[in-house]
Amino acid sequence: MYSAHVMDHFQNPRNAGDLPGANAVGSAGNPSCGDVLRLYLKIENGRVAQASFKTFGCGAAIATSSILTEMVKGKTVEELRAVTNAQVVEALGGLPPFKAHCSVLAEDALRSALADYSSGNGAG
């Protein structure tokens, strides 16, 4: 069902876990819908220095979370605002059509993290 690239990110997720000192934390999804994504970013000098995630969800949700943390690294806040779910799907080499919502979840979590950063909640 999944491409080799998706399976690789599912089996060997990159940047999984907490991120001490994260100053932009976002989340998306709902436990009763079967997926929750939490994204941690450490933004220094206007760029993402580190990113990590924690995800409860299906294989596609975990793979999209993993690739998202790779995609955002080094990007400026402005560049982050331009990241879309379609880019996440493309980076994974495609997802089954009924799994598209997982990439939407990734975009939502990123928007949520940016909102958190702007509000300064996680700053410090």
Partner 1 sequence: MNTCQYLEKEHGFEVTYLPVDGEGLIRPQDLAASLRPDTILVSLMFANNEIGTVEPIEELGALCREKGVLFHTDAVQAAGKVPFDVKSWPVDMLSISGHKLCAPKGMGALYIRRGTRLHPLLQGGSHEKNRRAGTENVAGAVALGTACELAGKETKAEEARVRALRDRLEKGLLDRIPFVRINGSVSRRLSNTLNLSFECVEGESLVLALDQAGFTLHRADLPGIAASTGSACASGILEPSHVLAAIGVPPQLVHGSVRFSLGHFNTEADVDVALDVVPAVVERLRTLSPLWEDKLASSPPLPQAS
Give catalytic residues, as residue numbers: 33, 102
Integer Cα distance of 29 and 57 in angstroms: 9
Q: Binding mask 46-85 vs partner 1 (x if CB under 8 A, - otherwise)?
A: --------xxxxxxxxx-----------------------
Q: Does 123 bind partner 1 (CB under 8 A)?
A: no
> How many Å apart are CA 1 and CA 97, to the nearest integer?
11
Tell the smallest beta-carbon distance from residue 62 to partner 1 (Å): 6
Taking the least distance from each CB to partner 1, the nearer of 47 and 101 is 101
The contact pattern for partner 1, residues 10-29, with x = CB under 8 A and - = no contact, is xx-x--xxx--------x--
Hunting for tokens 């876990």 — which residue is that?
17
Residue ranges of the alpha helices (H) in the chain? Answer: 4-11, 59-72, 77-81, 85-91, 100-119
